[in-house]
Amino acid sequence: MTTNYLFANPANYQIQLFGPPSHTLKESLGSMNIKTKIIEGNKFTELTGILPDQVALVGVIQKIHQLHYAITSIQIIDMDINHLK
């Protein structure tokens, strides 16, 4: 696997944030699936969705930062570009 492959192709991402989702978060990232999880009594927001490349991922991270959420994890769930297209 080359770096270009990881950088420029779509992937299904899961991003976990500390805290419940706000209305603004839902409006800003409405193209992603948004779920609330409770872990050890704390609320977390889980975002999942296919992003076309890592530039789009950076855009999502910037929006999360602007909304003052703490990111607790980012994972690639699926990178099979044939499956994601």
Q: pLDDT band at 79, cuts 50/70/90?
A: confident
Strand locations in 1-65 (E): 11-18, 33-39, 42-51
Integer distance in angstroms from the first to the last C-alpha of the chain?
Answer: 19
Structural domains in the chain?
11-46+55-78 (3.30.70)
What is the pLDDT at residue 6? 66
Higher pLDDT, 82 or 70: 70
CA distance 26 to 30: 5
pTM of the predicted protein model: 0.86
Inform me whether the pLDDT recorded for 13 exceeds 90: yes
CA distance 45 to 82: 28
Inform me whether the pLDDT recorded for 4 exceeds 60: no
Longest CA–CA span in the chain (Å) reads 41
Mean predicted confidence (pLDDT) in 14-23: 97
What is the pLDDT at residue 68? 97
CA distance 84 to 19: 29
